[in-house]
């Protein structure tokens, strides 16, 4: 089963993806993690990624699709969770084409709905909890950065909601519930 977890920053996508990995044996394809791993891999693709990221530029869709293609070729018994990808309509089309090329398809898109005010509080609290636990908080886990990230999400990623709704792939889960209730909602959406 191949799924996309869709939702704004702080909606709980990473937490829920980890549960799906543990419970269903799925592989989480987080573009951020893949880019960081590629950057330090020393491969030809990794050198390209490192040069782009070190210059402070955005990695092209072509490179991200290439990284995802590499992962799909490795295979997964439980399927893949696309986390942080696609972010744009162009990326959604590219993912559809890539899956078709590999003889696979997208089985579901699960949107985690959370209101903005709650998201901002959740992320700022996450940073405070990290500091209280003696860990380093993410540099962008502050109210101003969160609002900028939300604006980027609404400009670029939210059109995917309509795109996948029109394709009848979209399932919506209330992300304000407890972690267990959100997990149950996702399980029901994937049934």
- For the question of residue 24 being annotated catalytic, the response is no
CA 129 – CA 152 distance, rounded (Å): 25
Given the residues 39, 122, 149, 171, the one annotated as active site? 149
| Whether residue 36 lies in the annotated active site | no
- Residue 149 bears catalytic tag: yes
Choice among 126, 135, 147, 167 that is catalytic: 126
Query: Of 47, 135, 138, 167, which one is the catalytic site residue?
Result: 138
Phi-psi region of 104 (alpha: psi -120 to 50; beta: other; left: phi over 0): beta
Choosing from 19, 87, 102, 156, which is the catalytic residue? 87
Q: Residue 29: beta bridge partners? A: 82
Q: Does the annotation mark 122 as catalytic?
A: no
Give the HSE-up count for residue 68: Cα atoms under 13 Å, Cβ half-sphere: 30
- Residues found in the chain: 191
The residues carrying an active-site annotation are 13, 87, 126, 138, 149
């Amino acid at each position: 089963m191949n799924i996309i977890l869709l939702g704004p920053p702080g909606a709980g996508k990473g937490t829920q993806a980890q549960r799906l990995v543990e419970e269903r044996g799925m592989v989480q394809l987080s573009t951020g993690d893949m880019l960081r791993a590629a950057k330090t891999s020393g491969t030809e693709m990794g050198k390209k990624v490192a040069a782009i990221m070190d210059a402070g530029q955005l990695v092209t869709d072509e490179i991200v699709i290439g990284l995802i293609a590499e992962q799909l070729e490795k295979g997964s018994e439980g399927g893949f969770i696309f986390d942080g990808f696609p972010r744009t309509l162009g990326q959604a089309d590219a993912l559809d084409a890539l899956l078709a090329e590999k003889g696979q398809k997208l089985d579901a898109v699960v949107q985690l709905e959370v209101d903005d005010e709650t998201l901002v509080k959740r992320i700022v609290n996450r940073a405070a909890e990290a500091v209280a636990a003696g860990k380093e908080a993410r540099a962008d886990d502050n109210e101003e950065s969160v609002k900028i990230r939300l604006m980027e999400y609404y400009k670029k990623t939210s059109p995917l909601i309509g795109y996948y709704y029109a394709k009848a792939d979209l399932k919506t889960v209330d992300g304000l519930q407890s972690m267990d209730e959100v997990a149950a909602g996702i399980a029901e959406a994937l049934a």
